[in-house]
């Protein structure tokens, strides 16, 4: 029995129970059991007794035993007989929960999206107690929108929307402080919507000005402290604004940064100290409300170190506080080892890029323009590469406190060969190998290509190892575990490409790399000087995988890197 199947089954049971109108705590018990299983790193065989896990007891334990023994769950099968299948997707409609769906089924016999739509058109819905004309209109609208609305937005899209909103907020008088919150602040690679916290003592005026300044397509909710709108900025995107008093800003920011699981853990912790956390402050045992001037103070109030937003995810971060000081941070970064200049497809010249990197306070860098195969990117022939190499060596003489590594981002060709021969590669300081073509090849062939690069002792790093674009394409689907095993065997670095388009490797693979002891380089792959800034995003993405400073090669001094790549 596959662990994933058990997790899905428990979640499915929760969904059916929700529609059946079961006790909400019972429903959440099944969700918690699924989560307990998911968060446990061990495989099913390695877990001796599942009921020993916190959150799994007699009832959920029996479901799991049933699944292992028979491959099926009698609990789920019974639920499926009682609850029509067509009701399940209705839970995804905004504003629809188990209770409303159950009522529609019981009172009107509605058992599918089609039946629901017809009932709206026949004006049957508004006759039900608890429903009215507005509910009917809303359901009909949500049913129509359901197909067309985009799901989650990739970070490279939300990034621009965030900047746009920040500009608007910065120009509104009466706002003392504001910040983006939510999954974007936690550097999740995709977000369902955007959240902003606004501190003001005049919420009414600020709200009016804000709504006037935004390209609002639809107002979802508009209360005294909370405004939810759909805004048309490139795509349609939902944005929540919370307006709070200035002294409440930090607790509100923490609350709406989440994650939900992180907040639950924090509230439980507060409760054990006879305190109560809400977005407005921390209620003390004597009833007074404490507020804070920084999130660090907020955590310190509970005797905890500051927990960066990037690691506030499944709640387990609260159990890993002693690891926080070793997490890689932006201040630890000493180098950027993947970037392009006007020699290939970059926007800035070699000296311009060098100056830009130096001004970031790093101590070394690598210039890695594309290789000849990539004609669309003006890839360098061996002649041009060696000419650039000479120029870099000359430029290096200018700096006593800074080193420029002469490198290349060399293509691994579709036929599995490398774009430069060893004689050329041997003259370089840092060699990156990348796949930019023939993504559709079968996995075996892709892996063969990667293996060629791995086996070449002159190759130092594999860049953007899966070729994915966040929210847009999956890449060339390598067997990442195998890739990492090879990297370990052949002493290669794997890249965390910090571009928000890529964030490649993804978090789960970075965790795997660290576990296997494969060093990671966080690189910007900058094609222009301003793109060097994405290092900050890359570092936060690395934090999500709990990468330690020592595992990240571009926190190392140059000598240690040289020793590792044997150059």
Our CB check for DNA shows the closer of 240 and 504 to be: 240
The three-state secondary structure class of 242 is strand
Question: Which CB, 96 or 561, lies closer to DNA?
Answer: 96
Packing angle of the helix pair 3-20, 98-108 (nearest 10 deg) = 60
Closest by Cα among 343, 333, 397, 403 to 370:
343
Indicate the burial class of 301 (C-beta count within 10 angstroms; 0-12, 13-18, 19 or more).
Answer: middle
Measured between alpha carbons, how far is 31 from 10 in angstroms, rounded to an integer? 7
Cα(14)–Cα(354) distance, integer angstroms: 56
Helix, strand, coil abundance in the chain, percent, nearest 5: 50, 15, 35
Residue ranges of alpha helices (H) inside 316-381 are 350-358
DSSP 303: T
For the CB of residue 473, give the shortest distance to DNA in the complex, in Å: 27
- Minimal distance in Å, beta carbon 13 to DNA? 9
Strand 235-244 vs strand 226-233: parallel, antiparallel, or unpaired?
antiparallel
Residue 32 DSSP one-character state: H
Sign of CA dihedral 307, 313, 319, 325: negative
Nearest distance, CB of residue 385 and DNA, angstroms: 50
Compare residues 208 and 515 and give the one whose CB is closer to DNA.
208
Residues in contact with DNA by CB under 7 A are: 23, 25-26, 28-30, 32-33, 53-61, 93-101, 126, 129-136, 138, 182, 192-193, 195, 221-226, 240, 256, 258, 260, 263-264, 267-268, 271, 276-280
CB of 283 to DNA, least distance (A): 7
Spatial CB neighbours of 368, under 8 Å, sequence gap ≥ 6: 337, 338, 339, 340, 407, 408, 409, 430, 432
Name which of 100 and 544 has its Cβ closer to DNA.
Answer: 100
Q: Between 226 and 316, whose beta carbon lies closer to DNA?
A: 226
Residue 527 half-sphere exposure toward CB, CA atoms < 13 A: 10
Strands 190-191 and 153-154: what pairing? antiparallel
Closer by beta carbon to DNA, 204 or else 398: 204
The distance of closest approach from Cβ of residue 27 to DNA in the complex, given in angstroms and rounded to an integer, is 8
* CA gap 515, 527 in Å, rounded: 31
In the complex with DNA, the residue whose CB is nearer, 27 or 529, is: 27
CB of 115 to DNA, least distance (A): 17
Of the pair 260, 473, the CB lying nearest DNA is at 260
Closest to DNA by CB, 32 or 157 = 32
Q: Shortest CA distance to 73 belongs to which of 33, 112, 21?
A: 33
Q: Nearer to DNA by C-beta: 192 or 360?
A: 192
User: What is the Cα Rg of the chain in Å?
Assistant: 27
CB of 278 to DNA, least distance (A): 4
Q: How far is the CB of 486 from DNA (least distance, A)?
A: 41
DSSP string, 504-551: BS-HHHHHHHHHHT--EEEE--BSSGGGGGGHHHHHHHHHHTT-BGGG
Smallest distance from DNA to CB 264, Å: 5
Judged by CB, which is closer to DNA: 99, or 316? 99
Q: What's the closest the beta carbon of residue 495 comes to DNA, in angstroms? A: 33
Write down the least CB distance from residue 237 to DNA, Å. Answer: 13
In 211-283, which ranges are E strands? 216-222, 226-233, 235-244, 276-278, 281-283
């Amino acid at each position: 029995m596959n662990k994933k199947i058990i997790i899905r089954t428990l979640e499915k049971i929760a969904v059916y129970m929700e529609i059946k109108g079961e006790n909400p705590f019972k429903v959440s018990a099944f969700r918690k059991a699924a989560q307990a299983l998911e968060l446990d790193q061990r495989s099913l065989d390695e877990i001796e007794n599942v009921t020993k896990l916190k959150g799994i007891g007699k009832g959920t334990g029996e479901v799991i035993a049933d699944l292992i023994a028979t491959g099926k769950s009698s609990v789920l099968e019974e639920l499926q007989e009682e609850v029509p299948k067509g009701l399940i997707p209705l839970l995804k409609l905004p504003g629809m929960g188990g209770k409303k769906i159950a009522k529609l089924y019981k009172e009107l016999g509605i058992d599918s999206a089609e039946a629901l739509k017809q009932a709206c058109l026949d004006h049957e819905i508004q006759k039900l107690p608890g429903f009215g004309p507005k509910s009917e209109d809303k359901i009909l609208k949500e049913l129509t929108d359901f197909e067309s609305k985009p799901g989650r937005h990739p970070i490279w899209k939300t990034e621009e929307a965030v900047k746009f909103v920040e500009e608007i907020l910065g120009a509104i008088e009466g706002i003392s402080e504001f910040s983006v919150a939510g999954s974007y602040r936690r550097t999740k690679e995709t977000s369902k919507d955007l959240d902003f916290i606004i501190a003001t003592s005049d919420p009414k005026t600020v709200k009016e000005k804000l709504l006037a300044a935004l390209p609002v397509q639809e107002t979802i909710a508009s209360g005294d402290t909370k405004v939810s709108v759909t805004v048309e900025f490139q795509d349609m995107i939902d944005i929540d604004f919370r307006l709070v008093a200035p002294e409440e800003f930090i607790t509100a920011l923490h609350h709406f940064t989440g994650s939900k699981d992180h907040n639950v853990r924090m509230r439980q912790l507060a409760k054990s100290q006879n305190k109560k956390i809400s977005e407005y402050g921390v209620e003390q045992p004597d009833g007074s409300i404490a507020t804070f001037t920084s999130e660090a103070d907020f955590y310190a109030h509970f005797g905890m170190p500051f927990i960066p937003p990037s690691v506030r995810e499944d709640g387990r971060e609260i159990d890993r506080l002693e690891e926080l000081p070793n997490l890689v941070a932006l201040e630890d970064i000493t180098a950027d080892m993947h970037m392009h200049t006007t020699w290939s497809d970059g926007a800035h010249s070699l000296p311009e890029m060098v100056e830009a990197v130096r001004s970031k306070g790093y101590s070394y860098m690598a210039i890695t323009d594309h290789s000849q195969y990539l004609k669309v990117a003006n890839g360098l022939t061996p002649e041009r590469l060696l000419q650039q190499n000479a120029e870099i060596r000359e430029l290096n003489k200018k700096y006593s406190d800074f080193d420029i590594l002469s490198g290349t981002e060399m293509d691994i060709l579709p036929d599995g060969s490398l774009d430069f021969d060893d004689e050329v590669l041997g003259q370089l300081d840092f060699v990156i190998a990348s796949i930019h073509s023939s993504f559709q090849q079968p996995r075996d062939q892709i892996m063969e290509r990667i293996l060629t690069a791995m086996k070449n002792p002159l190759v130092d790093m594999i860049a953007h190892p899966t070729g994915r674009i966040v929210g847009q394409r999956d890449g060339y689907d390598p067997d990442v575990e195998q890739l990492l095993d090879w990297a370990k065997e052949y002493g290669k670095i794997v890249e965390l490409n910090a571009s928000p388009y890529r964030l490649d490797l993804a978090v789960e693979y970075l965790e795997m790399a660290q576990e296997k002891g494969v060093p990671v380089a966080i690189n910007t792959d900058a094609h222009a000087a301003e793109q060097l800034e994405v290092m900050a995003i890359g570092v936060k993405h690395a934090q999500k995988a709990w990468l330690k400073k020592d595992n990240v090669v571009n926190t190392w001094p140059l000598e240690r890197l040289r020793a590792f790549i044997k150059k």
